[in-house]
Amino acid sequence: MNFRLPNKESRRVAMTLVEVMVTMALGSLVLAVVGTLIVFAARSFIALGNYSDLDQASRNALDILSKDIRQTKSLTYYRTNDLIFRDNDDQPLRYVWDPGARTLSRIKGTERRILLKECDFLRFGISQRNPSNSFNFYPAGGPATAKLVDVSWICSRQILQQKVNTESVQTAKIVIRN
């Protein structure tokens, strides 16, 4: 057997405990920064997707509302969260916001269609068709004199159980044409 004693060069190749601890601390710091950036980027991508989905749902709901309300014959019932119209076929057409379920629904006959989900606020307003001098519309005395429907809503979503995604207020004034 041939045993060799370590020479001075082989002892210098090894790392000391202090060097190992400094390297581990720097490595941990770099990993923590990279992990934080990954989490931030993931949350940002989720938020952008939520904004896109909320915007698309709002545009679709507004398209349906506008088309339906413009073609109705008259408004027969009004509350700030509930509208009932007499449609072209003389059947009732109803739009109702349920604050508990956070949904806006379109009800025609036995068909119920949810237009908006995760809707935190919705308000209907009614006015006459003619504008006043202050660029507003004269208020309607009731459903029979209403020719303009004002609708506003806010929808939101959650990311990691925190409500951080809120769509800006969507609002429209829709004229009953008949």
* Measured distance CA(152)–CA(120) in Å, rounded: 11
Cβ neighbourhood burial of 129 (10 Å; 0-12, 13-18, 19+): middle
Closest CA to 115 of 64, 53, 152: 64
Name the pLDDT band for 9 (thresholds 50, 70, 90).
low
**88-125: per-residue pLDDT in tens?**
999 999 999 999 999 999 999 999 999 999 899 999 99
Residue 147 has which token pair?
A: 């020719």
Task: Supply the pLDDT for residue 47.
Answer: 83
**In the chain, where do the E strands start and end?**
74-79, 82-86, 92-98, 103-108, 111-116, 119-131, 137-139, 148-159, 162-166, 170-175
Which pLDDT band holds residue 5 (cuts at 50, 70, 90)? Answer: low
Copy the structure tokens of residue 4. Answer: 């060799």
pLDDT for 64 beyond 90 = yes
- pLDDT score, position 79: 95
Domain boundaries, the chain: 16-175
pTM attached to this predicted model:
0.76
* Residue closest to 70 by CA, chosen among 152, 173, 139: 173
Number of CB atoms found within 10 A of residue 23's CB = 11
